[in-house]
Amino acid sequence: MYAKVIVDVPAKQTDRPFDYIVPEPLRDWVAVGSRVGVPFGPRVLQGFVVELQESSDLSAAKLKPIEQVLDLYPPLTPELVELGRWLSETYLCPYIIALQAMVPGALKSKYERHVKLSGDPSYDDGLFRLPVYDEIIAFVQSKGSVELNALLEKYRSSGAAVKDMLSSGTLVEFQFIKGSAPAKTALTVFPPEQPLQYVEQIPARSPKQRDVLHYFADHPGPVKLSELVAQLKISASTVKGLAEKGIVAIKEVEIFRDPYAGRHFQKTSPLSLTDEQQAVFGEIKESVADQRHAVFLLQGVTGSGKTEVYLQAIQQCLDMQREAIVLVPEISLTPQMVERFKGRFGDEVAVMHSRLSQGERYDEWRKIMLKQAKVAIGARSAIFAPFSNIGLIIIDEEHETSYKQEESPKYHARDAAIARARKHRAAVVLGSATPSLESVYRTTEEGGYFRLLSMKSRVENRPLPKVNIVDMRDQLKAGNRSMFSRPLYKAIEERLHKKEQIVLLLNRRGYSTFVMCRTCGYVASCPHCDISLTYHQQAHSVRCHYCGYAEREPVVCPSCQSEHIRHFGTGTQRVEEELSKLFPGIRVIRMDMDTTTEKGSHEKWLNMFKNRQADVLLGTQMVAKGLDFPYVTLVGALAADSVLNLPDFRSAERTFQLLTQVAGRAGRHELPGEVFVQTYTPEHYSVISASHHDYAAFMREEMAMRRTGGYPPYCRLILVTFSHEQLQLLVRTAETFVSRLKESGRDVPGMDVLGPVASPLARIKDRYRFQCMIKYRGGADAARLVRQTADSLQDTVSKHKLQISVDVDPQLLM
């Protein structure tokens, strides 16, 4: 038997399957999707089996055997192996990168450098050696092989000897693939069927052993040894004594690290649906019941009860013995959200997100693999949950940009979901109050086969909050230089008085705090990137958000030596300071990148707010999504235009989405809500239609703009970014690329190559950046040409370490 293996070398030359012999003893272990160790040149590399064959086109004499199989069960299903191919072709990345993206981090290849003895250690070359040489030889021999770092650690003062032995060939180095992430096990006690039957056999001087038997009489079934010991206040040797007598058995059993262990989830039952919910649910249910592939775009206003529809649709799917995946944006994957799913489906839910430790993530993934979980809920990468019988995939807040991965493979989870659902004949539900234009377009005859479902009112006909637009230019004219307009100020005062709660949104991007000299206008900027440094209060430092460069906040201007240099702008920290000044005693919770890095902090803040230990929840986009707190009656968007001014054709869409989402946090329960949107561009249609909750009006206007401008969804885009330290070489390569692509794309209808131009972020980490944009309609022709053209520049690229990055359907144009 032969296997085709994709090896772990993400380069153009190796981006194809290589044939290997499957040796007899490994036959039962190797399957499509197995992770294997294979010899490749002088090394042993990790790879994935993508095909098995009875014969090979190459002669067996030329082929090498697979050396090891790394996991008990293949980490990828054949369907995922196939999806990997689709990802690599669609998003133009090496196949291995796509395959690795689908397995948990704990399984990503880790190579260790090991050493072993080259030959017979007793061989004496007659040369004088320090005694430590013999010690090292004896040590390595006793172990067979040793990790190089461990050896150097042990013989710390004899590093030179080790090096010497490596160069003389006494020791040889080889690479060793670290095997599968260790599953965690626990000693577990298995009781006999009739525990009390054995009580007589226990001598009276061992009353504790009798206690154990009585315990099992009341609690039949296996129990963790540690738990039993703690419960009965006995020692482990008591239980071992019983095991030696053959009364109980102690075995090592695999356990899952449960990130939600010890947490009780209130069991919930299905709510009776509103008419609108019922209508929507009916359609989804039918498609799930018929095992028919369909994509539904569910547009439901904030608070219309989309989540309840998801829950009932999942129930339907589980009833049919099929599995479900729920994607939510990372920042909405709050404990509140998890609770709603765990509350309904209990232990059948596996949760996958980046705040879990690698071990926890791995165990959640294994629960799916071993069919102990039927529902996977997680951020983007949960779309690769290794289920084999998917009935339903839900993508909540489908418009979110975080569904597009920024690193290779630059996939969009929405399209990966559709690709998977097709194979499984599953239904896809894309839910949002503000669906993306791309998805809406695909509900039209011209654009695709999505079906539009909508829910226009909130549950129990609660009114949507009243939204007031505040023109900040008027505020300035009236002499108010504060970041709070008069109306918002009054509204906050009133809520504090009534002990109601407030959510304040400040979008960080474009509004972070920078350091400027008032005398000469100097702005502290990163020496490696073309971007200003951001002020951080805690360390009194300034930092670059792209490369991590940091320095102390300057006290004199480096340019003119003036002392009038200080931090400016309205970061969340400044808003917090100003709030405390204006409203002494106000209790503020600030949620941004700085306050939520610690594990569990996100949850802690939200719990405090939920328990009304704070008046204000202040934050970045994090506070705009998914939160459902009954006492929030006021929402303020402090700088609504911060997104609008970004150089991106989606800026109006993003503004509309953000304002709608944050406004949706107010008045979701009995108390009515009110919203203030502070802006310098109150006449903009995205601001006006958000204030009227008028999605249709926004959509009409925005679609027309895109059609005229020739932007998605009326065409598709590929963004190609070039980067290098030398500007000239960079520009020359980018120009060659563009002219070659134009030449080869002459006959592709509707293809347009723009650029090259300097990227909006013109330099990162000392590398200049140029980009070109390809607009096209329809099929994969354009993508194929882009790949070919990039490949034709391969020589320049590898010779000068130039980088070409290709982004199909880009979400960020920086």
Ligand X SMILES: Nc1ncnc2c1ncn2[C@@H]1O[C@H](COP(=O)(O)OP(=O)(O)OP(=O)(O)O)[C@@H](O)[C@H]1O
- 520 is known to lie in a ligand binding site: yes
Angle at 378 between CA 374 and CA 382, to 5 degrees: 75
Within 13 Å of residue 160, how many CA atoms lie on the same side as its CB?
3
Binding of ligand X by 274 (CB under 6 A) = yes
- 772 is known to lie in a ligand binding site: no
Q: Which does 138 bind (CB under 5 to 8 A by kind): ligand X, Zn ion, none?
A: none
DSSP 421: H
Binding of ligand X by 626 (CB under 6 A) = yes
Q: Which does 522 bind (CB under 5 to 8 A by kind): Zn ion, ligand X, none?
A: Zn ion
Which of 15, 628, 648, 694 is the binder for ligand X (CB under 6 A)? 628
**Contact of 140 with 151, CB cutoff 8 Å:** yes
Q: What residues pair up with 763 in beta bridges, in sequence order?
A: 768
With respect to ligand X, which residue has the nearer C-beta, 142 or 461? 461
- Alpha helices in 207-334, H assignment, sequence order: 207-218, 225-232, 236-244, 275-289, 306-319
Binding of ligand X by 302 (CB under 6 A) = yes
With respect to ligand X, which residue has the nearer C-beta, 308 or 674? 308
Closest approach, Cβ 660 to ligand X, in A, equals 9
Binding of ligand X by 769 (CB under 6 A) = no
- 317 is known to lie in a ligand binding site: no
Closest approach, Cβ 755 to Zn ion, in A, equals 24
Quick one: which segment of 53-61, 267-275, 366-374, 559-567 binds ligand X (CB under 6 A)? 267-275
- Alpha helices in 375-500, H assignment, sequence order: 413-424, 437-441, 472-477, 486-498
Query: How many other β-carbons are positioned within 10 Å of the β-carbon of residue 449?
Result: 10
**Contact of 736 with 793, CB cutoff 8 Å:** yes
Binding of ligand X by 434 (CB under 6 A) = no
Q: How far does Cα 424 stand from its chain's mean position? A: 24
Amino acid letter for position 216: F
- 93 is known to lie in a ligand binding site: no
Using DSSP, how many helices (H) and how many strands (E) does the chain show?
24, 33
Pairing of strands 375-378, 349-352: parallel
Q: Which of residues 439-498 bind ligand X (CB under 6 A)?
A: 459
Residue whose entry in the numeric block shows the structure tokens 């700088």: 639
Quick one: which segment of 229-237, 415-423, 538-546, 771-779 binds Zn ion (CB under 5 A)? 538-546
**Contact of 355 with 599, CB cutoff 8 Å:** yes
Q: Helix 207-218 and helix 225-232: axis angle, to 10°? A: 110
What backbone phi and psi angles, to 5 degrees, belong to 591?
-120, 110
Which of 11, 560, 704, 757 is the binder for Zn ion (CB under 5 A)? 560
Q: Which does 111 bind (CB under 5 to 8 A by kind): Zn ion, ligand X, none?
A: none
Pairing of strands 534-536, 767-776: unpaired
- 715 is known to lie in a ligand binding site: no
Q: Which does 549 bind (CB under 5 to 8 A by kind): ligand X, Zn ion, none?
A: Zn ion
Count of residues binding ligand X (CB under 6 A)? 18
Q: How far apart are CA 260 and CA 243, in angstroms?
A: 32
Binding of ligand X by 305 (CB under 6 A) = yes
Binding of ligand X by 331 (CB under 6 A) = no
Ramachandran quadrant class, 441 (left: phi over 0; alpha: psi -120 to 50; beta: rest): alpha
First to last CA, the chain: 49
Quick one: which segment of 287-295, 299-307, 343-351, 793-801 binds ligand X (CB under 6 A)? 299-307
With respect to ligand X, which residue has the nearer C-beta, 303 or 756? 303
- 526 is known to lie in a ligand binding site: yes
Pairing of strands 427-432, 249-255: unpaired
Q: Would you report the helix, strand and coil content of the chain in percent, each value rounded to 5?
A: 35, 25, 40
Which of 18, 215, 546, 685 is the binder for Zn ion (CB under 5 A)? 546
Q: Which of residues 306-325 bind ligand X (CB under 6 A)?
A: 306-308
Binding of Zn ion by 562 (CB under 5 A) = yes
Which of 336, 519, 645, 744 is the binder for Zn ion (CB under 5 A)? 519
Quick one: which segment of 64-72, 271-279, 469-477, 600-608 binds ligand X (CB under 6 A)? 271-279
Binding positions are 517, 520, 526, 529, 544, 547, 557, 560
Binding positions for Zn(2+) are 517, 520, 526, 529, 544, 547, 557, 560
Residues that bind Zn ion (CB under 5 A): 517, 519-520, 522, 526, 528-529, 544, 546-547, 549, 557, 559-560, 562
Residues that bind ligand X (CB under 6 A): 271, 273-274, 277, 300, 302-308, 433, 459, 626, 628, 664, 668
